[in-house]
Each structure stands twice: as C-alpha cells, then as structure tokens.
Amino acid sequence: MARTAVLAGLGGYLPPRRVTNEELSERFDTSDEWITTRTGIRSRRWADTGISTGDLAVEAGHRALKSAGLAPEPGVVDMVVLATTTPDQPCPATAPDVAARLHLGPVAAFDISAVCTGFVYALAVASAQISAGHADRVLVIGAETYSTILNPADRTTSVIFGDGAGAVVLTAGEDDQPGALLGVHLGSDGAHKDLICIPGGGSRQRATHGEPDPAEQYFTMQGKKVFAAAVNHMRQSTVSVLDAVGWTTDQIDLLVGHQANARILKSLARQLDLPEDRAFINIDQVGNTSAASIPLALADACAAGLLAPGDRVLLTAFGGGLTWGSAALTWPGTTPA
C-alpha cells in the first residue's frame, strides 16, 4: 500500500458575535430577502474588536488536535500550515505564532495565501509532505477575519463574508484507510487577478508615487464574473480529480464545496449531475468564510450525521488569484471537537 495522508482530526470555531441580515439592513440599502435570494446567507459571524485571525486559528487548531486524541505539546505534529487571506500582520507569517501558542515546539510553520482556495492548497502541501516522508503528522488550518478587510460602505461584499476558522490533522497512513486523501487537483489564472483582490497595501502600491486611495485597503470582488468563473473552474477541477482517483459522479456521497454562494453550489451540483441534497450547504448560517469554509462545512456536515466512515467525499473551491482546486478522500470515523 502507498504511504498517504489520512484525516485524523477535525475542529471548527466561530466567533460568538452573530450578524443577521436584519442588522445589515439597518446599515445598507438592502433587506433580508435581497441578501437571502442572491446569496443564500441569513447570518454570519464577525469577530469582536481585538480578535485576530491567529486567535481563531489557535482555537480551531486546539479542537482539531483534541478530535485526533492529541495533546497540544512539542512533537505532536511536524508542521503547521495556515491558509489565510487575513494574516495578523503582513510580516511575519501567522502560522509560527499559532504553533507557539499551541505549545507545539519548534515545528515548521508557514502561511499559504490562495484566498478561498487556500485550504485545498494547504491540504495539497501537507499531503505531499506526508507522502514524501518529510512529515508524519501535519496540522492544517484555514482561518479568516474578513470583517477586518470589508469596506464599510460596500453593501455587496459586507453582506457576504464572515469570520471563522477550521482545522484538520493529517497523519501518515495507507491509501486503503478511511480518511485517506486520494487525489488533489490545483489550478490558477493570474491574468484575471483583478476579479478578486485588495488593491493596496502591497509592494506594488508602495512602489508608486503619491498618496494611496483609502478605498484600496479593502477587499473588492466583481461578483457576476466571479460567479461564472467559479462554477466553470470548480466543475473542471472536480472532473479532473474524479478521473485521477477513478470515481464517477454517482459514487460521490457528499460534495463539500467552498461556501461562496448557495446558487454557485447548486449550479455546480446540477452541472455534475449530482442531486442537490448531496451538495452540503451551511453558508446560510456562516456566510463566506474564505479559507475556513471547507473545514467548517466538514465539521457541520459531520455533526449533522451526514458523513459515515468510508463515505466518498469531494472537496472543491475557487478563489482569488484566480485559484481553484479539488480533493477526494474517504471519510474516517472522525468526530469534530
């Protein structure tokens, strides 16, 4: 049997503050009906002042370790990979601080920036390290505080995004074990980077003369173009990973896609000829949590009793970059903490 990364622990964390559509309707020219119809979102969580991405990541990481039956102590993992668009600061990466706060010792720790596809990219990196024998156990976290980068004057983005963190523990195993990560597909297209971006704050803006536009510090997205690109690239990516692992669409027990928009997920299911009830959706309660959305969705699906050991699970995501990716795994007997 081939050495393979196996999912052994799962944890999710949402900040306590619940922001409803009704609350946002008081700030913007919008309504609960308008938001729900276009996005499927009814509420989302936003971190209170002073709560950072690293804070959420630590809690999710701790829960994933607990789910795997592991104590947060030196040597328990060989690596920490944190997917985020909203690091605690531009430099250094947030992952080393998260590892230190979890008392994991001097392990390798680094961030991955692939926006909403970040968690799938992080899974791919962690899985490769395990398959190659460079690591026996890796903590993979997706964490975001998008509320800190939303333009308070932009109704479109402010109603979509939420904060949260989710994490998994991958451990070395064999490809016939429940939980085995059997295949990954990744892609990107930088020619369309402007569809999803934060224009300011980086070296390109700082290398120009003149005062920066204050609005450039905020997240921007061209929604209609993103919708079409997301469905197209996720469909192609899922087909690629299914071909790689030898699964047919009707063998998928659960499709867990990045929770960008309920209409995107339903459209993707239709294009894959997959019954809608096999496409898990929890965006109505959490909003779009970017790199955190897939592990949070996995935790919710598991808690709802929708995943049983041996189930064939397909993950897929699309995000800024543009980036996209998919992964196929069989479900273990893991219970989220």
| Token pair recorded at residue 168 | 């998994």
Task: Give the amino acid at 316.
Answer: T
Q: Which of 21, 185, 288, 302 is catalytic?
A: 288
Q: Quickly count: other Cβ atoms within 10 Å of residue 133's Cβ.
A: 9
Q: Which residue has the tokens 């997706």?
A: 142
| 302 touches 179 (CB < 8 A) | no
Q: Which of 116, 185, 233, 302 is catalytic?
A: 116
Does 62 qualify as catalytic in the annotation?
Answer: no
Residue 209, judged by CB atoms within 10 A of its CB (0-12, 13-18, 19+), counts as exposed
Does 258 qualify as catalytic in the annotation?
Answer: yes
Q: Which of 62, 185, 233, 258 is catalytic?
A: 258
Does 91 qualify as catalytic in the annotation?
Answer: no
Q: What is the distance between the alpha carbons of residues 196 and 332, in angstroms, rounded to a whole number?
A: 35
Residues with a known catalytic role: 116, 258, 288
